[in-house]
């Protein structure tokens, strides 16, 4: 099986390449393919002729999307449409990586694949549009992930939340984290394993939620990071209103899969421990 990974240098993309190293995996960086250019997508993917195309490319700086909605739409929505055109030309299966931010967070419980999306910010709107484009390909998987942390760090975000917490703790900075937003922390290595499982098992086309098992607030996530890393420091609670962010965030955007077997998900706390060991923050 030949798999092309668009955005292979990113946090999730790099783990997809590592996890799929036993396949014929083709990593595509930004200088290899431009998702905002239909001709580039068709030319590159026609030349490669992959069986599966995984599109991790995204403009995912949520507040920046509010400042530049045209760019958000071009990358997240039209970028998906352009990859769709290439998949249609080559007959490839399309895997579009989406987000928990397609939901409004008002359910008060983890969202499953059957729940109706209702985004409340530009990022979520454009990612949902990308999902709709993905469904134009008969063989498609829309994979929603959330609150990612991975060894490569997030492009454009300067690392990830775990590294930020450890850096602040080491430098003696005050650590204050929002306590009233809830989500499902997700180790990108685990997400990559689950995506590989979906592809290799040839599961039915459609939407799949791929996150760490469990729900927590960002405050609880920070406390667990610092506890496992051996820092006995207090984390001060903040509210979402305290942050004064441009984009509204869903209050409760945890995801749960009703379509994947339990063995492809594990508690986020366990995954966090593996991440901390891989990064050398704790011993093996």
Q: Exactly one of 123, 141, 187, 275 is catalytic; which is it?
A: 123
Q: Which residues is 14 bridged to in the sheet?
A: none
Q: Clarify whether 208 is annotated catalytic.
A: no
Query: Is the CB of residue 136 less than 8 Å from the CB of residue 78?
Result: no
Give the DSSP H/E element, type plus range, for residue 133: helix 122-134
Structure token digits, residue 269: 């706390």
Residue with tokens 């009703």: 258
CA 46 vs CA 30, 41, 96: distances in Å: 17, 8, 18
Nearest to 93 by CA among 46, 36, 137: 137
d(CA 19, CA 8): 12
Give the DSSP H/E element, type plus range, for residue 24: strand 24-28
Q: Which residues have a catalytic role annotated?
A: 123
């Amino acid at each position: 099986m030949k798999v092309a990974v668009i955005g292979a240098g990113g946090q999730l993309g790099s783990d997809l390449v590592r996890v799929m190293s036993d396949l014929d995996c083709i990593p595509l960086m930004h200088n290899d393919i431009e998702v905002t250019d239909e001709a580039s997508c068709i030319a590159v993917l026609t030349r490669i002729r992959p069986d599966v195309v995984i599109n991790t490319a995204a403009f995912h700086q949520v507040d920046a999307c509010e400042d530049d909605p045209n760019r958000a739409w071009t990358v997240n929505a039209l970028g998906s449409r352009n990859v769709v055109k290439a998949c249609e030309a080559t007959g490839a299966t399309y895997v579009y990586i989406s987000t928990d931010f397609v939901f409004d967070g008002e359910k008060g419980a983890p969202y499953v694949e059957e729940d109706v999306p209702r985004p409340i910010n530009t990022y979520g709107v454009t990612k949902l549009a990308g999902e709709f484009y993905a469904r134009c390909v008969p063989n498609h998987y829309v994979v929603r992930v959330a609150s990612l942390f991975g060894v490569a760090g997030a492009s454009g975000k300067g690392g990830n939340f775990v590294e930020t917490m450890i850096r602040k703790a080491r430098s003696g900075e005050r650590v204050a984290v929002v306590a009233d937003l809830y989500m499902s922390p997700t180790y990108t290595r685990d997400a990559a394993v689950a995506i590989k499982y979906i592809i290799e098992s040839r599961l039915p086309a459609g939407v799949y939620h791929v996150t760490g098992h469990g729900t927590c607030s960002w405050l609880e996530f920070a406390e667990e990071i610092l506890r496992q890393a051996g820092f006995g420091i207090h984390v001060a609670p903040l509210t979402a209103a305290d942050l004064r962010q441009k984009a509204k965030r869903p209050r409760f955007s945890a995801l749960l899969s009703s379509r994947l077997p339990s063995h492809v998900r594990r508690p986020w706390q366990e995954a966090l421990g593996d991440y901390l060991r891989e990064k050398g923050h704790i011993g093996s």
